[in-house]
Amino acid sequence: MEITVIESLYSTHKENALSHRYINNNSIKPLLDKLPSAAQVTVIGRSVLKAPIYGIKLGVGAKKVLMWSQMHGNESTTTKAVFDLLNTLLVSQTDVSDILKDCTLYIIPILSPDGAHAYTRINANKVDLNRDAQALTQPESKVLRAVYNSFKPDFCFNLHGQRTIFSAGETNNIATVSFLSPAQDQDCTVTPNRQKSMEVIAAMNKVLQQTIPNQVGVYDDAFNINCVGDTFQSENTPTILFEAGHFKSDYAREETRRYIYASLLSGLNYIAKNNVSGDLYKPYFDIPENGKCFLDIIIRNAKVKGLKTDVGILFVETLIGGKVEFVPKIVRIENLNSFYGHREINANNNSVLTKAGEALVLELEVDVIVIKSDEIQLALK
């Protein structure tokens, strides 16, 4: 599928009511209410705090694809892309209108509404739903499992978000999108089932390389049966993990959203138009594994307490007044020659202090630093 077609569709059908990082049930409910009747919207369960969990079913085709987003409430980029996708598929005639003739989709746009409301990875019981696939202790986990059992998907799309630390390989290339065909046994055997999801990933990567070359990675496939993807893969449903990562200066994840949309659309189009046998899986192994080579800010050649060193900073995503703010926090004071910064500051062997004239220390949250007499803003504006 040509990226020019996808970009044209995205420009036309992007859901402008959703933006930035804080997306919850209040954000999507008006959009669900105005979906056309071709999309069946139902409340499929309730969260710990009794918030509704919505399901959307659309399409009439024999190939069934189940996808869910915001299993982790603070991973909202894929939810935005899901609504861009819905807007595209639910118009009468587009270049991809055959998808709904060949496929039936079941989409859970926010699996953890309590986590989404609080902007946390965990649910209201402080449980990571992606470690609850076997125990099924949480109502949200039971909802997903019930849908999986009743819908009996041919493919699963497990939609997540990825931190800014990840690179595509051990390089200075940002992992803007990462995929994984999860393992289904302890030995990470490349089974026929995994080969099918690998084949679809290879097709999506081919599309993405047209627009973000060398910025696609593969996530670690260490087996954990408690993870949902590993569980569904082990039950012989080809499953694909999507990770929405960072794009240069895109902390709102609006550019990344575009590439997740391209991935979803091209992946579904490939499934719709092809008999996915797994025979074409080998290009999957050309995609580099994720490294952890980035920090949000690196201050190089700094003096801290009289010693020459580097300072590494990560942003802590913090919900403040209904908006996600990015709070700079010092996480490393050491030689960082093996890391890259999304932003780099050269202190030129000068002392680096807080605005109050204090020394930098690990775990310190600091908006402004002072080098010589210059104040440098670290917080995003």
Secondary structure class of 323 (helix, strand, coil): strand
Band the pLDDT of 328: cuts 50, 70, 90.
Answer: very high
CA distances from 72 to 76, 100, 110, 123 (A): 8, 28, 9, 8
| Average pLDDT for the chain | 97
**pLDDT score at 97:** 83
* 238 pLDDT more than 80: yes
Q: Where are the alpha helices (DSSP H) in the chain?
A: 3-13, 25-33, 77-89, 99-102, 113-118, 139-151, 192-208, 228-234, 254-273
* Average pLDDT of the residues in 142-151: 98
Kindly compute the dihedral angle of the four CA atoms of residues 360, 363, 366, 370, in this order, to the nearest 10 degrees.
10
Question: Is pTM, for the whole model, over 0.95?
Answer: yes
Smallest Cα–Cα separation from 160: which of 226, 67, 87?
Answer: 67
Which residues lie below 8 Å from residue 374, measured CB to CB, with a gap of 6+? none
Mean pLDDT of 74-91: 97
- pLDDT > 90: percent of the chain: 97
* Lookup: tokens for 379: 């917080």
Q: Do 70 and 115 contact (CB within 8 A), yes or no? A: yes
Domains along the chain? 3-291 (3.40.630.10), 295-377 (2.30.40.10)
43: its two tokens: 């409340």
Q: Which two tokens stand for residue 235?
A: 């039950």
**The pLDDT of residue 27 is above 90:** yes
Pairing between strand 340-354 and 290-291?
Answer: unpaired
Query: Are 159 and 166 within 8 A, CB to CB?
Result: no
Q: Residues 314, 208, 202, CA angle at the centre, nearest 5°?
A: 105
The reported pLDDT for the residue numbered 5 is 92
Q: How many CA atoms lie within 13 A of 100 on its CB side?
A: 19
Q: What letters, b where the CB count within 10 A reaches 16 and e where it falls short, cover 276-309?
A: bebebbeebeebbbbbebbbbbbbbebbbeeeeb
Measured CA distances, 268 to 1, 5, 165, 280 (Å): 11, 14, 29, 16
User: What is the bridge-based pairing of β-strands 52-59 and 103-108?
Assistant: antiparallel
What is d(CA 352, CA 247) in angstroms, rounded to the nearest whole number? 28
Summarize pLDDT for 206-230 with one digit per residue, the tens.
Answer: 999 999 999 999 999 999 999 999 9
What is the phi-psi region of residue 328: left when phi exceeds 0, alpha when psi lies from -120 to 50, beta otherwise? beta
Which pLDDT tens digit goes with each residue over 277-326?
A: 999 999 999 999 999 999 999 999 999 999 999 999 999 999 999 999 99
How many residues are recorded in the chain?
A: 381
How does pLDDT run across 148-186, given as a tens digit for each residue? 999 999 999 999 999 999 999 999 999 999 999 999 999
Q: Is the dihedral of CA 192, 197, 200, 202 positive or negative?
A: negative
- Considering the chain, what percentage of its residues have pLDDT values greater than 70? 100
- Going by DSSP bridges, is the β-strand pair 239-244/323-334 parallel, antiparallel, or unpaired? unpaired
Report the run of H or E that residue 129 belongs to, with start and end. Answer: none
Task: List the structure tokens of 25.
Answer: 């049930």
Please say if the pLDDT value at position 52 is more than 90: yes
The residue whose two tokens read 């990875």 is 121
pLDDT at 94: 76
With H, G, I as helix, E, B as strand and everything else as coil, classify residue 222.
Answer: coil
Q: What is the pLDDT of residue 4?
A: 93
